[in-house]
Amino acid sequence: MDSVDDIIGLWPSMADLGRDLGLPYPTVAAWKQRGSIPVTYWRELVRAAQQRGYHEVTADLLVEAHDQTGGGPSLAGLAEEPPSIGTERQLPAETHQGSGQFSRWKPLRRTHFGTIEEIVEHVRALRSEWDRR
């Protein structure tokens, strides 16, 4: 199992996955079409998978399934230096040279987190920053 499609395919149907997560079918269908599950749903997805007996679905598996490079850094390397919350992150100049409009944000993509806890902590920090503004 090495893709989002494989993870979604564990459930008998996308509708069943949606019901387990409390989401409508079109939401899950969009994930399958994009080949990506939003990080905000990972914790619930892992919980739902555990309840169904799909113990192979973990935060590590989700990170690996979303690694678009195929040979990305190891999970141990991702967790070595987590970003500190509340500080501005300096982006290297070379990240601004990418081809897409969001290339400069590449260091903040979900594949740079090692665990669900790091993702949840990051989302909380983003929400806190949003509330302050």
Looking at per-residue pLDDT, the higher value among 104 and 96 belongs to: 104
How far is Cα 74 from Cα 78, in angstroms, rounded to an integer?
7
- Reported as a pLDDT band with limits 50, 70 and 90, residue 106 is low
Element (H, E) at 124: helix 116-132
Largest CA distance in the chain: 46
* Number of domains present in the structure of the chain: 1
Which residue range(s) make up the domain with 24? 4-132
Tens of pLDDT, residue by residue over 44-101, are 999 999 999 999 999 889 988 887 645 444 444 444 444 445 444 444 444 445 555 5
pLDDT of residue 117: 81
